[in-house]
Amino acid sequence: MDESDRDEESEQLRAAMHHAVSQIVRERSTEENVTYSKEFIAVLAELASSHLKNISSDLEMFARHGKRSTITMDDVKLVARNSPSVHTHITETSEKLSDIAAKNRRKKQRRDLDDDT
C-alpha cells in the first residue's frame, strides 16, 4: 500500500468517524433537547479518532510485549485499566462472549456426536 492509498484510507476513516459521531450526537440532541454546533461535532470526532489511534498503538505494544502478533481480550482490559467503569464493562462483556462461545462449542459437539450415530 503506497502513501496515496494510505492517505485515502485515512481520509475515509476520518469521514466515517465524523459520520458516526454526528449520528450519536444527533440522537443525544433529540433525547436531551439540546443542539450542538458543527464545530463541536468536528472537534469531538477528531478527539475520538485521536483517542482510538492511541488505544490501537497501546494494544499493539501490549501484544508485542507479550511476543504475540494477535491482540487479545487481556490486552483490551489492560488498556482500560485506568477507567474502572470501562474496565468493568469490558470484563463483563468478555465474560458474556466467553459464555456464548462455550455454549456454541457444546452445541457443536452434541451435533457432531448426533451425526456420528
Q: Which alpha helices (H) appear in the chain, and where do they start and end? A: 3-32, 38-65, 73-79, 84-116
N residues, the chain: 117
* Region 26-46 average pLDDT: 93
Contact (Cβ atoms closer than 8 angstroms) between residue 75 and residue 62? yes
Helix (H, G, I), strand (E, B) or coil at 52: helix
CB 38 within 8 A of CB 21: no
- The span from the CA of 52 to the CA of 54, in Å, is 5
12, three cell numbers:
475515509
**Residue 112: band (very low, low, confident or very high) from pLDDT cuts 50, 70, 90:** confident
Q: What is the pLDDT of residues 6-24, one digit of tens each?
A: 888 888 988 999 999 999 9
- Cβ–Cβ < 8 Å for 63, 75: yes
Cell of 88: 468493568
Give the whole-angstrom CA distance, residue 107 versus residue 114. Answer: 10
57-96: per-residue pLDDT in tens?
A: 999 999 999 999 999 999 999 999 989 999 999 999 999 9
Q: What is the mean pLDDT of residues 23-27?
A: 95
